[in-house]
Structure 1
Amino acid sequence: MSTYLSQVWKLLRNYVRGTRLKQMPKTTSLEAEAAVPPGKIIKELDKSVKFAPDHLQDYLWFQRLQKSLEEWTISGSSLTLKPDTLLYEKSPGGNLGDRQLYEEIYDLLGNGALKPEIVEQLMEFLVASQKIRPEMLFQRLEDFYRRWCQGEFIDATPESNLPQQKMLKLAAQNITIGLRQVDIYTGLNVLILLLELHRYAQEQDELKQQITFYPSAQPDTENFFTCQLLQIINYSDALEIGNFSTIVGEFLRGGNFRGAYLGDANLTGVNFSGADLSGVYLGDANLTGVNFSSANLSGANLGDANLSGANLRGANLSRTDLGSTNLSGANLIGANLSRANLTHADLNSTNLSNANLSHADLSSANLKNSELSRADLSNAILFGANLSDANLISVNFSHADLCRADLSGAELCHAILNGTNLSDTILFSTNLSDAILVAADLSYAKLNGAKLNDARLNGAMFLGADLSGTDLSRVSLNDADLSGVTLNDADLSGADLSDAVLFGTDLSYANLNNTNLCGSNLSGAILNGADLSHSNLSYAILSGADLSDANLEEMTWGEKQQWEGVRGLETAVNVPEALKEQLGLN
């Protein structure tokens, strides 16, 4: 026990001499230390796992801060000020005078940045305390914050310059710290406390209307954008790039930043989860690795910003400007991007599964290797977009514009593309199996090597499209317009081409085994070498069709079928005997 007391005494002695510089403030008065007997210190320390015995200074400082927070909201405080120090307005209600309040704030919060674990304990104390009035504490801290943002304290004359007085006080204890550091640490620590008070109050029905904090000032009709927070970021980063993000970044979650101007801001890795950033301007900002999960960014401008690796899961980005934004590797699972501007955006390897991109503009966007499974891209504009090798399984592209887009190697099985514009689109080796492309426009599309097996292509247009070698087995193409389309070597086995228009279509060497061609128009179609075994050609129009070397085994035709003008029947193989008799080919 004597050894332990000796260690405590050494800690106290070192603290009084000011020989140890810690990140946390060391401004506890000698009276405060003397008022705590060593035995009681040990007892208190044993109760708390958050303050080990070698952190006695932190413990004493924390106790003093708790007491000060109570005093700052006590009405009719007996503490008075000297006449020559009354340089600021007094707060209403007879509280601790503003001047002394500001002195205490600098004294307690001017040494260094608040640690997250300390802030957590403070908030637990504030919630549990019966003496602290959150509304008044918020009002007084917010008043200090507003004055600090305007540079009122650091620009004051020497006799009333509070950051300078704090700096000199620390220098007397052999603790070297710059004037700007004192001022920045103090202001940012107050900002942290205000952010935490706001977040707590918004969860309490009785407080949410009374405690609403705007770190960048509240926008109004005359000043839609506010740049107060941007000035703080730049002021803080004057000490070291990323200083603001390091100190305050984790406490921005759930904050109110509506209408803030943060253009070119450095906010790498900060936590904006659940925050209100509607209408905010973040153009050209560095937002690498930022957490925007569940944040409201509706109507915001993030043009040309760097959001690589950012977490935007479940975020509201409706009508947001993300033009030319770097979103490579970002997490946008379940995000709302409806009507967003994503033109020329880099979404390479981005996760957009289950995202809402309806009516979004993704013209010329880079979505290579992106994850878009089950995303809603209905009515979206993707003109010239790069979607090569993307996962588009079960995506809804209904009525979207994919003209001239690159979808080579993409996975589109079970995708919905009803009425989609796929004209002049690159679909090399694209998997569209089981996809629904009813009334889709595939004119001049490049579909070489694509898989369209079991797809529904009813009423689709293929003018000038190249489908050579394409897997179209079991597809539904009834009423589709395939005039002039290249389908040589394509697999159409088991497909439904009833009432389809195949005028002049190249079907040479195509696999049409068990294909339904009932009522189709095959005028001038090239079917040489095609496999028409077990196919149904009832009521099909065959005038001018070329059936040279075609396999007609077990083919079905109508009694009133018109064979006039059909070429190559004499070289066709496995022609049914009944048809030979009908045409006099025996």
Structure 2
Amino acid sequence: MSDLSQVWKQLGTYVRGSWVHQKLNNGSVVGKVGRTLRKSGNGKAKKREFGTKNVQQLLMNEELYSRFTEWGQVIEQDVWLIDDTAFYTELYNLLGESALKAENVELVIARLSENNKFYPIKVFERLNNFYQRWCQGEFIDALPDANFPQQKMLQVKAKNLKLGLRAVDIYTGLNVLILLFELHRYARQSEELKQKIIFYPSGQPDTANFFTSQLLRVINYSDSIEVGNFASTVGEFLYAGNFSGAYLGDANLTGVNFTNAILTGTYLGNANFTGANLSSANLGAANLGDANLSGANLSSAILRRADLSSANFSGANLQNANLSGADLNYADLSSSNLDSANLRGANLTGANLRDAVISHAIFKSVTCFGANLSGANLEGADLSQADLCRADVSGVNFMNANLTGINLSDSILFSANLQNAILHAADLSYAKLSGACFNGANLNSCILLGADLSRVNVSNVNLSEADLSGVNLSEADLHGADLSEAVLCGTDMSYANLTGANLNSSNLTGAIFNGADLSYTNLSYAILENVDLTGANLEGIIWNDNQTWKGVRGLETAVNVPAALLATDD
């Protein structure tokens, strides 16, 4: 501990003078720190290299720590210990060569929190004032005698480093931006400070200083020396920041960290968020139209009433996200994770949800007109009152889902799994249901007008009070199904298996049972006008005494016709 203490003292001397510079040339301080950092290094070259890098970081940390304590101090009222000219010079000298690292900034802030000479509010105000002026290009556009970035560049050139004027200016501005984000987060931990230290990268909304596209200009300026420079330099420091109301259209924000950030009402149209982390971010009422969020993490994010039309969410993580009322017109959500997400009232017209995981999600009252949900997993989801008219729902897993009142008219449900699903009062008119599984499903009062259920297994399914007028149920398995009080006018049940089915009080006017197996079927009180029973198996059927069989066709070719029925027909 005594060695390390001595090192810190030497580092402190360095930042205030040239003594350590001289010692560094002799190797004494580097050697001392190097030995401290690599006690188990065994003298390897890589360890020595690692130790040298750490020395440089330690020197930077110590200098930054010292400057932070001085920048906020005043000699007397309105007189700074470090005046503005010296302050700007120090910023460029200290921050103009390379980007700050997260671990180093965090270490400095942690040390400062224990220093009673650290005045965060004053430091924040001075850094924020510099940032606002830097955003306007004031420093790089200044005359040579007051051009701080130019002066720093000349120092850099003297050291034979390849760093241009713009790079010096950009590094300095972005590093100040990083420090402002860190102070903003530091203040969140104190009730007193969080009311006085609030950083708005584009200025505070609804004030004279608010410039909606200020941060966008910073991003574009930063990327002028290298594409993605802003994201790679500042991206990891954006979490928990306040970007409310800012304009960031077309911004390159690849891989940035917006965790817990406030982006309410922010314009992010056409922005690139590929691989970005927006978990728990608040994007309420934000505009992300045509934005690229492929592979992004938006778990638990708030996207209520956000404009997400035509956005790319392919492979994105939206687990537990709140998308209620969001506009997802023609959005690409293929292979995305929407498990337990809230999409109540969202508009997904024409959206691509192919192979998406939407299990246990709230899809209540959503509009998915013409959407592609093929292969999606909606197990246990709530889709009550949803509109999936003309949607492609082939191969979708609706197991245990709530589909009460859903509109699936004219939709494609080939091989869909509707096992144990609740389809009460659902509209499946003209739906294509070939290969769909309805085991244990409840289709009470649903509308299946004109739907294609040929060869479909609906055995033991509750279809009571359902409207199956004109439905194609040829060769379907309806054994044990409850069709009581159902409407089956003109329904084709040729060669269907209705063994033990309940057709009590159903309307079978014009129904076709050609070759169907109706053994032990309950036809009590059913309306049988113009029913075709040609070749049907009527073994053990149940009917009531007052039932009329007039107009029934095909009894002469039906098999196992009960003698009592024949007597009634006579």
What's the TM-score, normalizing by structure 2? 0.91
Task: Give the letter for the 2:18 counterpart.
Answer: L
1:576, distance to aligned residue in structure 2 (A)? 3.2
Q: Which moved more, 1:91-100 or 1:144-153?
A: 91-100
Tell me, yes or no, if the aligned pair for 2:497 and 2:516 is still in contact at 8 Å: yes
Distance 1:214 1:161, change over 3 A: same
Task: Give the letter for the 1:62 counterpart.
Answer: N
Verify: 1:264 aligned to 2:250, yes or no: yes
Q: Which residue among 30, 46, 49 is the counterpart of 2:18?
A: 30
Tell me, yes or no, if the aligned pair for 1:390 and 1:411 is still in contact at 8 Å: yes
Aligned residue in 2 for 1:274: 260
1:566, distance to aligned residue in structure 2 (A)? 1.3
Q: Which residue among 164, 176, 179 is the counterpart of 1:190?
A: 176
Distance 1:164 1:225, change over 3 A: closer
Distance 1:162 1:498, change over 3 A: same
Verify: 1:556 aligned to 2:542, yes or no: yes
Aligned residue in 2 for 1:54: 52
| Separation in structure 2 between the aligned mates of residue 424 and residue 48 of structure 1, nearest angstrom | 71
Q: Which moved more, 1:174-183 or 1:382-391?
A: 174-183
Q: Which moved more, 1:58-67 or 1:291-300?
A: 58-67
| Separation in structure 1 between the aligned mates of residue 436 and residue 144 of structure 2, nearest angstrom | 78
Aligned residue in 2 for 1:97: 83
Aligned residue in 2 for 1:244: 230
| Separation in structure 1 between the aligned mates of residue 166 and residue 351 of structure 2, nearest angstrom | 44
Tell me, yes or no, if the aligned pair for 2:434 and 2:452 is still in contact at 8 Å: yes
Verify: 1:409 aligned to 2:395, yes or no: yes
Aligned residue in 2 for 1:516: 502
Task: Give the letter for the 2:88 counterpart.
Answer: Y
Aligned residue in 1 for 2:378: 392
2:88 counterpart SS class: helix
Question: For residues 433-467 of structure 1, what are the alpha-carbon distances to aligned partners after superposition, in whole Å with 9 as ceiling and x for unaligned?
Answer: 21111111111111122112221111111221111
Distance 1:267 1:150, change over 3 A: same
Verify: 1:69 aligned to 2:57, yes or no: no
Alignment of 1:124-523 (within 5 A): 124-220=110-206, 226-523=212-509
1:28, distance to aligned residue in structure 2 (A)? 7.9
| Separation in structure 2 between the aligned mates of residue 399 and residue 221 of structure 1, nearest angstrom | 44
Tell me, yes or no, if the aligned pair for 1:357 and 1:377 is still in contact at 8 Å: yes
1:203, distance to aligned residue in structure 2 (A)? 2.9
1:430, distance to aligned residue in structure 2 (A)? 1.3
Task: Give the letter for the 1:319 counterpart.
Answer: R
Tell me, yes or no, if the aligned pair for 2:253 and 2:273 is still in contact at 8 Å: yes
Gaps (5+ residues) in structure 2? 1-6, 39-46
Task: Give the letter for the 1:63 counterpart.
Answer: E
| Separation in structure 2 between the aligned mates of residue 483 and residue 173 of structure 1, nearest angstrom | 88
Task: Give the letter for the 1:161 counterpart.
Answer: N
2:74 counterpart SS class: coil
Tell me, yes or no, if the aligned pair for 1:42 and 1:53 is still in contact at 8 Å: no
Tell me, yes or no, if the aligned pair for 1:459 and 1:481 is still in contact at 8 Å: yes
Question: For residues 44-88 of structure 1, what are the alpha-carbon distances to aligned partners after superposition, in whole Å with 9 as ceiling and x for unaligned?
Answer: 6666689954233332232222111111112218xxxxxxxxxxx
Distance 1:165 1:39, change over 3 A: closer
| Separation in structure 1 between the aligned mates of residue 169 and residue 556 of structure 2, nearest angstrom | 98
Tell me, yes or no, if the aligned pair for 1:27 and 1:107 is still in contact at 8 Å: no
Distance 1:392 1:198, change over 3 A: same
2:65 counterpart SS class: helix
Tell me, yes or no, if the aligned pair for 1:224 and 1:259 is still in contact at 8 Å: no
Distance 1:223 1:521, change over 3 A: farther
Tell me, yes or no, if the aligned pair for 1:315 and 1:335 is still in contact at 8 Å: yes
Tell me, yes or no, if the aligned pair for 2:275 and 2:293 is still in contact at 8 Å: yes
Tell me, yes or no, if the aligned pair for 2:203 and 2:210 is still in contact at 8 Å: no
Tell me, yes or no, if the aligned pair for 2:202 and 2:211 is still in contact at 8 Å: no
| Separation in structure 1 between the aligned mates of residue 216 and residue 17 of structure 2, nearest angstrom | 36
| Separation in structure 2 between the aligned mates of residue 143 and residue 381 of structure 1, nearest angstrom | 48
1:93, distance to aligned residue in structure 2 (A)? 5.1
2:421 counterpart SS class: coil
| Separation in structure 2 between the aligned mates of residue 410 and residue 223 of structure 1, nearest angstrom | 52
Task: Give the letter for the 1:69 counterpart.
Answer: F
| Separation in structure 1 between the aligned mates of residue 485 and residue 169 of structure 2, nearest angstrom | 80
| Separation in structure 2 between the aligned mates of residue 566 and residue 493 of structure 1, nearest angstrom | 22
* Aligned length in residues: 550
1:380, distance to aligned residue in structure 2 (A)? 0.8
| Separation in structure 1 between the aligned mates of residue 525 and residue 404 of structure 2, nearest angstrom | 28
Superposed CA RMSD in Å reads: 2.5
Gaps (5+ residues) in structure 1? 1-7, 16-25, 78-90
Tell me, yes or no, if the aligned pair for 2:203 and 2:209 is still in contact at 8 Å: no
| Separation in structure 2 between the aligned mates of residue 285 and residue 53 of structure 1, nearest angstrom | 40
Task: Give the letter for the 1:66 counterpart.
Answer: Y
Task: Give the letter for the 1:54 counterpart.
Answer: T
What's the TM-score, normalizing by structure 1? 0.89
Distance 1:221 1:568, change over 3 A: farther
Distance 1:223 1:369, change over 3 A: farther
Task: Give the letter for the 1:246 counterpart.
Answer: S
1:471, distance to aligned residue in structure 2 (A)? 1.5
| Separation in structure 1 between the aligned mates of residue 415 and residue 27 of structure 2, nearest angstrom | 78
